[in-house]
Structures are given as C-alpha cells and as structure tokens.
Amino acid sequence: MNNEKKLIFSGIQPTGNSFTLGNYIGAVRNWGTLQNDYNCVYSIVDLHSITVKQVPAELRKNSLSAYALLIACGIDPQRSVVFFQSHNKCHAELSWVLSCYTQFGELSRMTQFKDKSAKHTDNVNAGLFTYPVLMAADILAYNADLVPIGVDQKQHLELARNIAQRFNHTHGEFFTVPEAYIPKVGQKIKSLTDPTKKMSKSDENQNGSVYVLDDKDTVIRKFKKAVTDSGSEVKYADGKDGINNLITIYSVITGKSIQETEREFDGKGYGEFKLAVGETVADHLAPIREKHSSLMEDKQYLKECYTEGAARAMSITQKTLTKVYRKVGFVDAR
C-alpha cells in the first residue's frame, strides 16, 4: 500500500451466480478504474449474504464464482486487496462494538431493511436489521476515504458516517469519515421489464436483469424484450424511464455521452436501438465471461489470491481493532 494514496473500500454480495449489469455499471466497473489512483480494498461480503436464506453449497460455489468475476472484471488481486469478508474476523468484531454506537431508531429507518423485511416476512432476522452496522464496520475498519457504490447504498453509507462521527465525538478523532463515490451516469440501472424499479439480483422476473455471465443470445434477447414507453424517438426525457435506462446503459458501455447517443440514433426506432444496445453490451461482456471461465478452472490460483488478500486485509484492520478496544476500555490482551 502506498501511504500517499487515499483508501477505497467496497463490497459486493455473492448471491446468485453472477453480478447484474447494475452491479457492474454502478460499482464494479468503477472499482477497476479506481485502482490507478487509490489503494483499493474489495470484498466479497459473504457475511452480509446470509441475512437472507442461502443454500450452503450454492453460497460457497457462488462466492468463489463472484471472486473470480471480480478479477475478470479488471480487479487486480496483486494491486488491490481482494478477499472474502468471512476470512477477516475483524469485520464481525468491530461490527459488535459499532452496534453499541448505533440506535435502534436509526436502523429502523433503513429503507433496505424495510423492503427486505417486507419481502422475507418469514425471516426478519436480527442480522437483517443490523446489516448496516456490519457494512459500517467493513468501511471504518480500513479507515476508508472513499466508498464506490450505486445510489441504493447511499443511506447505508450515511449511517456509517454518522457512526464514525459519533464514535469520534465520544473517544476523540479516530475514524476517517468516509465519502460516497456514486457515478453521475449509471448510479441506478433499472429493470428491463419494469424500468421504475432498480435492476436487482433478487428480481423474480429473470428477464428484468442482465447478468455479466449471460451469453450473447440471452443478453440480446433480454434487451429486445425491454419494456419501453409509447413513443419512438431515442431521446432522454423526463418520465421515459425505459428508454432513459437503455440510453444510460449504452452510453456508459460505449463511453459516448447521452447527446452523442441521441445523435447516433436520430431517426431510428426503438427496435433498432434495443438491438444495438443488446449487441454492444454482449460484445463488452464476452471477454469478461471468457476470463471468468478460465479463472474458474484454476482454483489453486484463486485460493492463493484470496488467502493473500485476507492476510493483507487482516494486517490493516487488526491495528484498527486493537486501538478501538483500547479506546472503549477493554484490558489489553498482551
């Protein structure tokens, strides 16, 4: 780690067998770019994922696949620290301490908790409720300056800032108060079947989400079926959620501005545009899919990467945790 550089932390859940295009555009794609200018720490947050029911064998398989996918998406495990959250005990330990600096009322206001508890009425567990505290621990354990996320995680990040400030207020300046890094374009990619909702892994309608590991035909088929508004012009406009979403996706993937995209498809209909978006996205994802599949054949290499990643992660956070324990008044262990 270069001490001159600021530190970035971010995480992604290993649910499902792939990331969505929303995860990719809103977060993971930027994680790769940020490696040039920051010290980066990226985690597959498996502890978070058991707040909803998982099949253990599938979770294990999906976690390894997600780890390989991060590398396939351009995260370099030598340059960045890339590890499984459950391999670094400091996250859970710090989470306990921070939970004593977090109010019940604050957690009750989290929209993700409200949404998920409404969706999984048979399993409104305590972990689902304290989920944002663990997320705060993830970030604060590294004293991260910046946290690249999609806009749906903004409320959690704000809570992490409040917890940091509260702890600092009680014990003196200690935690870095992290800033969110939310992309201007692509911070909330919408479902292709209901563009008023975000694209999500947990969407029951599988046509709503494009997955990074979808094959070319599947990607094109999903875009061809994408719900658009009445109208035919490829123009970004208020209230036209469907076409706005497609324009956003196309412009992020091609690097063209929204205006350039509108000009390129001037006079062309929705059908032609949907096909172009589908093909462009599929071509963009193809090399990622290939890289992922070759990485999955080299389990030994993956293991070396995540073992090393956990050791590097632990060496940063153990120092933070020791200081936190001292600050809150625990007797030194050594």
Instruction: Tell me: does residue 141 bind ligand TYM (CB under 6 A).
Output: no
CB of residue 211 vs ligand TYM: minimum separation in angstroms? Answer: 12
- Is 204:28 a contact under the CB 8 Å cutoff? no
Cα Dmax for the chain? 73
Instruction: Tell me: does residue 139 bind ligand TYM (CB under 6 A).
Output: yes
Q: Find the helix packing angle between 154-171 and 126-140, rounded to 10°.
A: 70
Instruction: Tell me: does residue 192 bind ligand TYM (CB under 6 A).
Output: no
Instruction: Tell me: does residue 229 bind ligand TYM (CB under 6 A).
Output: no
CB of residue 263 vs ligand TYM: minimum separation in angstroms? Answer: 25
Size of the site for ligand TYM (CB under 6 A): 26
DSSP character at residue 119: H
Q: Which of 190, 198, 240, 274 is catalytic?
A: 198
- Is 167:101 a contact under the CB 8 Å cutoff? yes
Instruction: Tell me: does residue 110 bind ligand TYM (CB under 6 A).
Output: no
CB of residue 202 vs ligand TYM: minimum separation in angstroms? Answer: 9
154 is catalytic: no
- In which element (H, E) is residue 181 found? strand 179-181
- Is 149:26 a contact under the CB 8 Å cutoff? yes
Q: Which of 197, 201, 291, 327 is catalytic?
A: 201
63, 130, 153, 261: which one binds ligand TYM (CB under 6 A)? 153
Q: How far is CA 208 from CA 11, 190, 194, 247, in A?
A: 23, 8, 7, 16
Distance CA 211, CA 281 (A): 10
Compare residues 44 and 305 and give the one whose CB is closer to ligand TYM: 44
201 is catalytic: yes
Instruction: Tell me: does residue 277 bind ligand TYM (CB under 6 A).
Output: no
Instruction: Tell me: does residue 147 bind ligand TYM (CB under 6 A).
Output: yes
Q: Which of residues 11-40 bind ligand TYM (CB under 6 A)?
A: 11-13, 22-23, 25-27
256 is catalytic: no
**To 10 degrees, the CA torsion angle through 134, 313, 22, 46?**
-50
Neighbours of 217 (CB within 10 A): 10
CB of residue 29 vs ligand TYM: minimum separation in angstroms? Answer: 10
- First-last CA distance in the chain: 27
Distance CA 64, CA 307 (A): 12
Tell me which residues are annotated as active site: 116, 198, 201
What residue ranges bind ligand TYM (CB under 6 A)? 9-13, 22-23, 25-27, 45, 48, 135, 138-139, 147, 149-150, 152-153, 156, 187-189, 198-199
